[in-house]
Amino acid sequence: MGRMDGKTALITGAARGLGAAIATRFAEAGAEVIINDLSAADASSRGEALGGYGVSADVSDPASVAAMFETIRARSGKLDVLVNNAGISGIEGDNEARERIARIAEAHERAARGEAVDAEETLLSAITDVTDADWARMMGIHVNGTFHCSRAAMTLMRPRESDGSIINMSSVMGTFSRGSGTAYSTAKAAILGFTRALAHELAADSIRVNAIAPGWIHTDMTDPLEPMHPMLMAQTPQGRLGEPDDIAWAAVYLACEEAKFVTGQTLSPNGGWYMSQ
């Protein structure tokens, strides 16, 4: 028997990256996996490959989320696990980002040698560079998306007879942050507060709510940060960046019976990076 036999799990933003790794491990553990992605084709392809199905939705749009859950109601009739994974870095489509990141990495190398470095040289973007649209998009996908999906999930999770689990994807940048990722760090910190509040609210319904705050992980999202990888690995006691499976196994634990007494918590697989800062 698998650890998740009989469970139905929705993972948002799961056509690639951390979401895809989580979905793969859930399926191997016996769960029926539902893959959400903006791309209907990508969601369906990944879902079918894992023996489940895909459903397209923009998690920042409450109407789109409501339609997604109606599809899940019609096809599965229930939901045991929700992983609010959909997210962005904020530099998607920014052709100059890699060049700025290379300059930041070089500035950190000079600082490590004891050379004087202007603080602005270590910033990916200053708060004055963050537009209203940038801020709204970051909050809309991360914070609003987590809220929309969690709220909609109640129509399927509350009536169940078995325990439920909601897993919200935060980041180590939501627990410890520096300048240059203000919007991203704020969104990820907000998710931690939402997790604790919702855990209190849903405890009486036997629905556990926890968060995962990944450290630096090899994914498509962190590929543009490649010039900084040597620095990040040097800051990490384990001497490496994490792999998607390092997060996927944490999600399996939080979704399963082994974590039945765990709620309102943040699990942060980061190789020791946090304690080294």
* Active-site residue identified among 53, 184, 253, 274: 184
Distance (Å, whole) CA 87 – CA 143 = 9
Q: Taking Cα atoms as reference points, which of 58, 82, 57, 78 lies closest to residue 208?
A: 82
- DSSP H helices in 29-163: 40-49, 62-75, 97-112, 132-139, 145-157
In whole angstroms, give the CA distance from residue 54 to residue 58.
Answer: 13
Active site residue 184: yes
> Which residues neighbour 214 within 8 Å (Cβ) at sequence distance 6 or greater?
18, 169, 171, 172, 242, 246, 247, 268, 269, 270
Give the span between the Cα atoms of 246 and 153, in whole angstroms: 26
The answer to whether the CB of 214 falls within 8 A of the CB of 268 is: yes
Question: Tokens in use for 45?
Answer: 């392809």
Q: How many Cβ atoms are within 10 Å of 51's Cβ, its own excluded?
A: 12
Q: Hey, which residues are catalytic here?
A: 184
